[in-house]
Structure 1
Amino acid sequence: MVLCVNLRPAVAGLPPIFTQLQDRLALSSVDVTLLATIPVLCFGLFSPVAALTARRFGEERALGGALAAGAAGLLMRALLPGALLLAGTVVVSGAIAFMNVLLPSLIKRREPRRAGRLLSLYMVMLYTGAITSSAIVVPVYRSTHGSLAVTLGMSAVPMVVALLAWLPQLRYGTARRAASLPPGASQRLPRGHVRRHRLAWQVTAFMGLQSMTYYATLSFLPDLFLSRGLAPSQSGLVGSLLSVGGLVSAFGTPMIAHRSARAARLLMIATVVLCAAGISAALLAPVNAGLALMPLLGLGQGAGLALALYFVMARAATPAVAASLSALAQGVGYVVAALGPLAVGSLHALTGGWRAPVLVLLLATAAELVVGLLAARPHQVPAPGPAARYVAGEDGGRPTP
């Protein structure tokens, strides 16, 4: 749980102070777009590396290394923001990519019968970190008289705490990992095994599309509301309200989806409706009303992320397949997601308004519904050969022939 709380502060804590960073560090609009895009792009590029590292050293040790690297990246951009803001963001984003990929397969391997409950707790802590960072970053900046060292460096504290709490897990290595697998389930898969299955690409497409809309709105909704007259002191509220809504839906979504495929499909429809309504309200509703409706968008986004992570576990026949599916879904999915902030920022710069960016996000949400309903079907990416079925899904995670 203390590891999960570090999955978003490094990303969610930047958009509310984009304007201050521009003024203090002489950043251009291109630099700001890069700051919004780099984390998501790194999530995609580092995901395959995470899976390879875990195969060599074990998931627990790979996650310990990621926590150490994440703390280093946060300190880099805090101590030398003028020179290392972008580089530090790359380092910490790569570390978070490791955590994104390896935590779902870790849950499936070590606690398959409690996967829905643990994934719910995972999501609660993820959103707790996002809410806290986006809510306090502007007050901290002002109370420290514009100290970038404190404002950017405070995210390193929970990362170091998580590293210390994780140290006992380092004794779990590849040998224990192999012993934890069910009979016949190898921890190594033939190259390209997961990529040969259509279901894997449906899960990947859903991960990419829901992430694309999430990061695009997280990065640019504060600017949209500011352009419509919101007070600068309230810009941090946008991300916090999104995260509050996400916290509510993320907690229950995996447990409900765990019950049946029908429940997962109904959740999928509700997710898309809420996202479309929230994105539209940000542009069309009066400013205060639109701000008040942001928890609805957060509800949809939280449910979408929870479903994407749930599909990674439930649509994999073994923990080894789950690790490979997680790497594919997040590797390709987050590269697709990186197009969201880039497209929104470019369209806004080109048109000078927000109608075109919002239309693109609504189209992405519609596509999310199509691939999400396909991924919600109760099928699995199988393990090669006569491996046992080892599911953190509708059958409760029981190994069966």
Structure 2
Amino acid sequence: FVSCAGLAVRSPGMRNSAVQESPGRRARVARRFGGGALLLAGILLLAVNLCAAITSLPPIFPELRDVLHISTAEEATLASVPVLCFGLFSGAAAPLSRMLGEERVLGAALALLAGGLLLRSADPPVLLFPGTIVASAAIALMNVLLPSLIKRRRPERAGLLIGLYLLSLSGGAVVGALIAVPVFTAAGAGTAAARLSLGMWALPALLAAAMWLPQLRYRTLPPAPAAGGQRRRGVLAMGRHALAWQVLAFMGLQSLSYYATLSWFPTLFRDRGMSAAAAGGLLALMNLGNAVTALLIPVLAQRARDQRLLAVISMMMTGAGLAGAAFGPLGAAAPLVFLLGLGQGASLGLGIFYTMARAPDPVAAAALSAFAQSGGYLLASTGPLLIGLLHSVTGGWAVPVGALLGVVVLQLITGWLAGRARTVPVPGPVPLAAPEGAGGRRP
């Protein structure tokens, strides 16, 4: 899977079309679908919405806590809700898309996202958590389906579109963190400002939904569930293999580390005397570094004999950036936070690569990706809550940051184990749903 700075989605290359089409018919269908430009605009606007509503809250958590009168424990729970929802609701994407088609589920998810964001802003103390759950469930569905739709609708441009998708996704994360404090301050820093900050991202969601309307005429269906011998390659079957658990642990710990720093580093920097706007800017810088190596590392990993050295390098960058940013001089915070982002993005890129390289074929890779995604998110959801509670109990940041450094050590161990050149043992070859020649060039 790929990520919005730790937010994982299934790789489009890991699933196969349920409909066998000739290259000529596929090309005619691709030309008809949304006119190309409309499809591209819809994809990019949709991707922007996957992260902005999440990264825009941590920079103003202290203000929201004061204005909305929520406790530190409630704040920590709020930070964990999106990640928990990603693990709980991402599995619903496949059955829903088989019933309705991927385009219609994505359109409904955009409407659901806008509704959830408006709901949490309508009466924040009461509807904050229900609205966040609704919005996070919508993001979970879009996370899974959008790359898959790109692969099916425009296979001949899948590589380019995935790259643009990731750039838009990262851009949304950066912008969300960067403008959170200025918007809150400009709106008066009161209850009205809190409602605006909680609900303003409904506008780009509605804009993306309007841009997506032409795609609702089409109904792209994912493959039917595996049958017969392929069941032995299913998601639950991955639990029998130590390598699959190593990949899950590495991906889960990566997301745990990212979401914990995303949620609490702005507060940490403000406790050290930094302004709210500067702390939000550092969060945006971390996301920028994350995007750089998340795109670069899979390319380097593919050229290496195994990925153990890359795992060590990524964890060294993460550990050095984490400790330096938390305890080093504030004057050096910007480069250290960027180094932290580079390390987290590198480990994310490795996790993406592991889900592909540690499976012998696309059928097994899809199962490994789903296994690591669902379990990894559930593991990651404990991160923001745990770090928030540790800070609340100890009253400082030494113990929470020490716990995160312990997570880095565990990542190093699991990354080293998963980095060995092996694959998950599965039964013999199973025919793919569509021959490679019938589906066009693989991205």
Q: What do residues 186-205 of structure 1 show as CA deviations (whole Å, max 9, x unaligned)?
A: 79975733434443322221
Matched with 2:201 is: 155
CA contact (8 A) 1:77 1:87 kept: yes
- AA partner of residue 22 (structure 1): R
Instruction: Say if 1:207 and 1:333, in contact at 8 Å, map to a contact too.
Output: yes
Partner of 1:46: 89
How far apart in 2 are the matches of 1:292 and 1:311?
Answer: 28
Residue 222, structure 1, aligned to residue 266, structure 2: yes
In structure 2, the residue matched to 1:192 is 236
Match of 1:250 in 2: 294
Which of 272-281 and 236-245 deviates more?
Answer: 236-245
1:159 is displaced (CA, Å) by 1.8
Give the aligned partner of residue 78 of structure 2: 35
- The Cα shift of 1:279 comes to 0.8
In structure 2, what is the Cα distance between the partners aligned to 1:305 and 1:390? Answer: 29
Helix, strand or coil: the match of 2:236?
Answer: coil
In 2: Cα distance, 1:383 partner to 1:118 partner? 34
- Aligned residue type for 2:201: S
Q: Distance in 2 between matches of 1:158 and 1:383?
A: 46
Residue-by-residue CA offset, 1:94-137 (whole Å, 9 max, x unaligned): 11122333345445666778766554433322221111011101
Asked whether the 8 Å contact 1:200–1:329 carries over to 2, the reply is yes
Q: Paired residue for 1:232?
A: 276
What is the match of residue 112 of structure 2?
69
Which whole-Å CA distance do the structure 2 matches of 1:188 and 1:131 have between them? 41
1:205 aligns with 2:266: no
Normalising to structure 1: TM-score of the pair? 0.85
Structure 2 gaps, min length 5:
1-43
The residue that corresponds to 1:303 in the other structure is 346
Equivalent residue for 1:268?
311
1:51–1:324 Cα contact (<8 Å) kept = no
Cα drift, residue 313 of structure 1: 4.3
Paired AA for residue 255 in structure 2: S
Provide the residue aligned with 1:337 in structure 2.
380
Q: Distance in 2 between matches of 1:53 and 1:188?
A: 23
Which stretch shows the higher mean deviation, 83-92 or 376-385?
376-385
* Segment drifting more, 278-287 vs 318-327: 318-327
Give the CA deviation at 1:16: 0.9
Q: 1: distance between equivalents of 2:161 and 2:232? A: 25
Q: Which one has the largest radius of gyration?
A: 2
In structure 1, how many angstroms separate the alpha carbons of the residues matched to 2:363 and 2:250?
A: 21
Alpha-carbon spacing, 1:347–1:93, altered in 2? closer, same or farther (3 Å): same
The CA distance in 2 between the partners of 1:319 and 1:114, in whole Å, is 19
Structure 2: distance between partners of 1:315 and 1:12: 31
| 2-structure distance, mates of 1:218, 1:285 | 18
Q: Which moved more, 1:125-134 or 1:98-107?
A: 98-107
* Alignment partner, residue 164 of structure 1: 210
Whole-Å separation in 1 of the counterparts to 2:427 and 2:361: 6
- SS at the partner of 1:262? coil
Deviation at 1:143, TM superposition (A): 1.4
Please give the alpha-carbon distance, in whole angstroms, between the structure 2 residues aligned to 1:383 and 1:52. 25
Amino acid at match of 2:329: P
How far apart, in 1, do the equivalents of 2:305 and 2:207 lie?
40
The aligned counterpart of 2:62 is 19
Structure 2 CA distance for partners of 1:376 and 1:41, relative to 1, 3 Å: same
Alignment correspondent of 1:277: 320
Q: Supply the distance in 2 between the matched residues of 1:221 and 1:48 (Cα, whole angstroms).
A: 30
Displacement of 1:167 in angstroms is 3.6
Contact conserved, 2:109 with 2:141, CA < 8 A, in 1? yes
Match of 2:408 in 1: 365
- Structure 1 residue 336: deviation in Å? 0.6
Aligned counterparts of 2:441 and 2:427: Cα–Cα separation in 1: 15
Residue 375 of structure 1 corresponds to: 418
Output the CA distance in 2 between the equivalents of 1:198 and 1:345. 31
Q: Residues 107 and 372 (structure 1 numbering): CA distance in 2 closer, same or farther, change over 3 Å? A: farther
Q: Contact (CA 8 Å) 1:71, 1:156: kept in 2 or not?
A: yes
> What's the C-alpha RMSD, in Å, of the aligned pairs?
3.4
Equivalent residues of 2:113, 2:205 under 8 A apart: yes
Q: Is the 8 A contact 1:102 1:323 kept in 2?
A: no
Q: Which amino acid aligns with 2:246?
A: Q
Spell out the pairing of 1:134-149 with structure 2 (5 A cutoff): 134-146=177-189, 147-149=193-195
- CA 1:161 to 1:317, structure 2 compared with 1: closer, same or farther past 3 Å? farther
Q: Secondary structure at the match of 2:70?
A: coil
Secondary structure at 1:245's aligned position in 2? helix
**Partner Cα distance (2:241, 2:155) in 1:** 23
Q: Which amino acid aligns with 2:69?
A: A
Distance in 2 (alpha carbons) for counterparts of 1:31 and 1:197:
37
Compute the displacement of 1:33 (Å): 0.9
In structure 2, relative to structure 1, the CA distance for the partners of 1:303 and 1:318 (3 Å cut) is same
Question: Could you tell me whether the CA contact under 8 Å between 1:75 and 1:156 is conserved in 2?
Answer: yes
Distance in 1 between residues matched to 2:94 and 2:223, nearest whole Å: 15
- In 2, Cα distance between the equivalents of 1:74 and 1:9? 12
